[in-house]
């Protein structure tokens, strides 16, 4: 049984995002790229399954749609423990295009479980996972918080309102996972880092897909106003500010 984990290459969560080209694209200069946190946890879970002989999982592959510049992020995933990688050599522009490329590449390889993080921390589109299953024509389960595989039979848990749901699904399928999927991300061991340098990354050329959406502009939230301190002995001042400045009473 083989698992493929789709990974997205996103700016580190502390990045101060800047825009360029008239606020229509992100200024990527100086950005530290990391594995999307949801995908990182997916990978951690996939590796746990592979390392557990009872699961029957033999191999974990990571798949990524993106240019050669994202290879350090793929190598990171390999260092953490993935066995090999697939990269579709393209510049993804929207979820439809990304899902199409990944589906084409993954579909060719033949996998039993495809795991996608529920969203990526850059555009938060939450669409790629579902689309991949559609493109390949296999079932998908969303908001997965637990994935177990017992000698080749997947058992899925989902957090639902006020409880938990267990889902059975035939392989192959797409699991769209939430943060609870693994307790913590794995870190790369030294051997992992060393072997990652020579693990194979298979590069696919993109297939013909259109982008169906286009980002016309970004804007940042208004900066938070400074906090005003009022003397505790002066409630009149508070009322005045609430009435005239905040205009809430």
* Binding stretches for other proteins (CB under 8 A): 12-16, 32, 34, 80, 183-194, 197-198
- Measured from the CB of residue 99, what is the shortest distance to other proteins in angstroms? 27
- Measured from the CB of residue 188, what is the shortest distance to other proteins in angstroms? 6
Which of residues 158 and 199 has its CB atom nearest to other proteins in the complex? 199
Which of residues 64 and 76 has its CB atom nearest to other proteins in the complex? 76
Neighbours of 19 (CB within 10 A): 14
Find residue 19's DSSP bridge partners.
26
In degrees rounded to 5, what are phi and psi of residue 72?
-55, -35
- Measured from the CB of residue 205, what is the shortest distance to other proteins in angstroms? 21
Which of residues 16 and 168 has its CB atom nearest to other proteins in the complex? 16
Which of residues 14 and 124 has its CB atom nearest to other proteins in the complex? 14
Which of residues 60 and 80 has its CB atom nearest to other proteins in the complex? 80
- Measured from the CB of residue 224, what is the shortest distance to other proteins in angstroms? 15
- Measured from the CB of residue 43, what is the shortest distance to other proteins in angstroms? 13
């Amino acid at each position: 049984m083989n698992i493929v984990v789709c990974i997205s290459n996103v700016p580190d969560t502390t990045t101060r995002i800047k825009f360029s080209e008239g606020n229509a694209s992100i200024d990527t200069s100086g950005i530290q790229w990391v594995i999307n946190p949801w995908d990182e946890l997916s990978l951690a879970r996939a590796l746990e399954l592979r390392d557990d002989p009872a699961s029957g999982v033999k191999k974990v592959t990571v798949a990524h749609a993106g240019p050669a510049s994202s290879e350090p992020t793929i190598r990171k995933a390999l260092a953490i423990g993935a066995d090999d990688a697939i990269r579709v050599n393209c510049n993804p522009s929207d979820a439809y295009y990304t899902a199409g490329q990944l589906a084409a590449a993954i579909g060719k390889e033949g996998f039993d479980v495809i795991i996608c993080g529920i969203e990526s921390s850059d555009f938060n589109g939450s669409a790629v996972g579902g689309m991949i299953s559609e493109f390949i024509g296999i079932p998908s389960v969303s908001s997965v918080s637990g994935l177990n595989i017992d000698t080749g039979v997947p058992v899925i848990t989902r957090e639902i309102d006020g409880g938990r749901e267990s889902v059975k699904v035939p392989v192959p399928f797409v699991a769209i996972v939430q943060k609870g999927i693994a307790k913590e991300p794995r870190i790369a061991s030294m051997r992992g880092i060393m072997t990652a340098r020579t693990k194979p990354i298979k590069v696919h050329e993109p297939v013909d897909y259109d982008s169906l959406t286009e980002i016309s502009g970004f804007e940042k939230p208004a900066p938070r106003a400074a906090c005003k301190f009022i003397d505790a002995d002066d409630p009149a001042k508070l009322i005045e500010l609430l009435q005239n400045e905040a205009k809430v009473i």
